[in-house]
A and B are shown apart, each in its own frame.
Chain A
Amino acid sequence: MKKIKALKCKECGQETLPVAKHVCEFCFGPLEVVYDYDAIRRELSREKIQSRPQNLWRYWELLPVESRDVISMNEGFTPFWKSRNLGKLLGLKTLYIKNDAVNPTLSFKDRVVTVALTRSRELGFDVVACASTGNLAGSVAAYGAVGGFKTFVFIPADLEMGKIVGAGVFDPIIVGIRGTYDEVNRLCAEVADVFKWAFVNVNIRPYYAEGSKTLGFEVAEQLGWRAPDHVVVPVASGSLLTKIYKGLWEFKHLGLIPEFHTRLSAAQAKGCAPVVTAIKEKSEIIKPVVPKTIAKSIAIGNPADGYYASQTVLKTGGAGEWAEDAEIVEGIRLLAKHEGVFTETAGGTTIAVLKKLVESGNIKPDEVVVATITGNGFKTQESVQDHISKPHVIPAKLKDFRELYDELVRSRKAEPVRA
């Protein structure tokens, strides 16, 4: 049985064959995968899902591939826990952390790439490519290597070293563009038209984007088959936020979780906040901006799914909030000091916005809240290196350590001891 029925335009509803295509021929709206939910409902149950390996392919029926032979590195089913300290600090009774920074290539992008590359192979491609702010480049490079593809990744040339090395180690061809991500992306749209490759976030996008639903599936399953009250999501293109909601909706539609009223809130950096601005102004128009922020992984000034993300936030009663660069760094430090997780700037943005939404009363103290941490701090060390503890360098002599210790006591960084 074919699982994917068609691609359907989100705007005008016109259907087309499920090939490598992302734009409606009639009205130019984005295409989305159509599933046979009745067939899936007969197939899928909580028990069946729970009996499978702990990776995102446990939701195979709800992902847009036909093959059982998937290109996987055990991505997904990432740690999820009730906050040990941060929730208390912020005044939340029930805060959960979803840590997607520990996927195989250290970001949530592995969710979309495992789906995109499996589908690309089904569609007969042997070259894969992407436009990336860094995390996607690393993921496509790694999965491209494992899947035996020729791989091209296009990035802004000024990315953090950790992102460039994190892609380069898998030996793709890396094209660094002198310009913003939006310019990289514009070029990729043109390249995709001329070179008939599988561009995961261009012509493969309808399939690729579906991988993000699994973050919503997992949160619901890990909460004990129910939806949370509130999810805070970092927004770049807006796709992740939209698809987390879709994941929860599908679970409810299939009877896997009860009715839900989850509010989704969007987090952006102040220096690149076109979606949050639209939410605050309750505007249907996403006004493009030129990004200026340390949060490079979410610096998309002209987001493709911005409209759908802002509509999802407004429809669910969520909020949009931005964080200044200094607040982002503080967010990274808060998560590290209180939950033991070193996240990158996108995660710092999420925590900073979570804090602000609690302070402004948008998030109530007794809500069940989930903070989604999408990337790993080891890739963006530049952003925090001037704001964290540094080594006190001394000779290997007890006398020198005593001197250092006395100094620490004097500056109240250590307690006096008898030694």
Chain B
Amino acid sequence: MATKIRIPAPLRKLTKDQAVVEAGGTTIAEVLADLEKKYPGIRERICDETGQIRRFINIFLNGEDIRFKDGPKTQVSGDAEISIIPAIAGGLPARRVEGRPSPGK
């Protein structure tokens, strides 16, 4: 089953300018692997060489940061919504960026 994934502006070059795309899988890791198949090159922007989510990328599953769930192993149901959000880049609606670190004082 396909899951909806919100793509941040800086990665949309890889998704042919689509803000929302679909990919399948039962975990975040599987969804990201499927995403890579459809949009080659996107995975390395989100994960490092060891497969870990990059430190300044936040992935929200139904509004919850997956770091506080099971990370890449977090289970994904078909009707879930995934948002990929750069932690310190600007320009995203506030309600989607609960996990964004503050540039600070």
Q: Is the CB of B103 within 8 A of A29?
A: no
**Interface residue ranges of A124-149 to B (CB < 8 Å):** 131-133, 135-136
Q: Is the CB of B99 within 8 A of A135?
A: no
Look across to chain A and name the residue whose beta carbon is closest to the beta carbon of B49.
A12
A23-B88, A183-B94 are known contacts. Are A302 and B56 too (CB-CB below 8 A)?
no
Which residues of chain A come closer than 8 Å to B89, judged between CB atoms? 23, 28, 189
Q: Is the CB of B54 within 8 A of A237?
A: no
Task: A28-B10, A136-B105, A307-B55 given; name 16 further pairs at CB < 8 Å.
Answer: A22-B88, A23-B88, A28-B57, A109-B105, A131-B103, A181-B102, A182-B102, A185-B104, A188-B90, A192-B90, A201-B104, A202-B90, A237-B102, A286-B101, A300-B102, A306-B101
Residue B45 at the chain A interface, CB threshold 8 Å: yes
In the assembled complex, the CB of B62 is this many whole angstroms from the nearest CB of chain A, namely 18
A residues engaging B (CB < 8 A)? 11-12, 22-30, 109, 131-133, 135-136, 181-183, 185-194, 201-202, 205, 236-239, 285-288, 297, 300-307
Residue among B48, B92, B102 with the most chain A CB within 10 A? B102
Q: Is the CB of A302 within 8 A of B57?
A: no
B residues engaging A (CB < 8 A)? 10, 45, 48, 54-57, 67-68, 86-92, 94, 97-105
In the assembled complex, the CB of A181 is this many whole angstroms from the nearest CB of chain B, namely 7
7 contacts between A and B (CB under 8 A): A11-B56, A22-B88, A23-B88, A28-B57, A186-B100, A302-B99, A303-B102
Which residues of chain B come closer than 8 Å to A305, judged between CB atoms? 104
Q: Is the CB of A189 within 8 A of B104?
A: no
Q: Is the CB of B101 within 8 A of A26?
A: no
Which residues of chain B come closer than 8 Å to A133, judged between CB atoms? 105
Which residues of chain A come closer than 8 Å to B100, judged between CB atoms? 186, 189, 302
Q: Is the CB of B105 within 8 A of A236?
A: yes
- Neighbour of B105 across the interface among A28, A187, A189, A201, CB < 8 A: A201
- Neighbour of A185 across the interface among B67, B86, B92, B102, CB < 8 A: B102
Look across to chain B and name the residue whose beta carbon is closest to the beta carbon of A29.
B56
Q: Is the CB of A25 within 8 A of B10?
A: yes
Which residues of chain A come closer than 8 Å to B102, judged between CB atoms? 131, 181-182, 185-186, 237, 300-304
A159 to B99, CA, bound (A): 24
Kindly list the 9 A-B residue pairs having the minimum CB-CB distance in the complex, ordered from nearest: A237-B104, A189-B90, A193-B91, A28-B86, A185-B102, A193-B90, A304-B101, A28-B56, A304-B104
Q: Is the CB of A27 within 8 A of B101?
A: no
Q: Is the CB of B101 within 8 A of A302?
A: yes
Which residues of chain B come closer than 8 Å to A300, judged between CB atoms? 102, 104-105
Q: Is the CB of A237 within 8 A of B103?
A: yes
A11-B55, A28-B56, A183-B94 are known contacts. Are A189 and B101 too (CB-CB below 8 A)?
no
Look across to chain B and name the residue whose beta carbon is closest to the beta carbon of A205.
B103
Residue among B48, B99, B105 with the most chain A CB within 10 A? B105
Q: Is the CB of B87 within 8 A of A28?
A: yes
- Neighbour of B92 across the interface among A28, A132, A190, A302, CB < 8 A: A190
- Neighbour of A237 across the interface among B86, B90, B99, B105, CB < 8 A: B105
A285 to B68, CA, bound (A): 9
Q: Is the CB of B88 within 8 A of A304?
A: yes
A260 to B87, CA, bound (A): 33
A327 to B94, CA, bound (A): 34
In the assembled complex, the CB of A24 is this many whole angstroms from the nearest CB of chain B, namely 8
In the assembled complex, the CB of A20 is this many whole angstroms from the nearest CB of chain B, namely 12
Look across to chain A and name the residue whose beta carbon is closest to the beta carbon of B58.
A28
In the assembled complex, the CB of A215 is this many whole angstroms from the nearest CB of chain B, namely 14
A201 to B99, CA, bound (A): 18
In the assembled complex, the CB of A367 is this many whole angstroms from the nearest CB of chain B, namely 28
Look across to chain B and name the residue whose beta carbon is closest to the beta carbon of A132.
B105
A25 to B88, CA, bound (A): 11
Which residues of chain B come closer than 8 Å to A304, judged between CB atoms? 88, 101-104
A287 to B67, CA, bound (A): 9
Look across to chain B and name the residue whose beta carbon is closest to the beta carbon of A297.
B105
Which residues of chain A come closer than 8 Å to B56, judged between CB atoms? 11, 23-24, 27-30
Q: Is the CB of B103 within 8 A of A189?
A: yes
Which residues of chain B come closer than 8 Å to A131, judged between CB atoms? 102-103, 105
Which residues of chain B come closer than 8 Å to A194, judged between CB atoms? 91
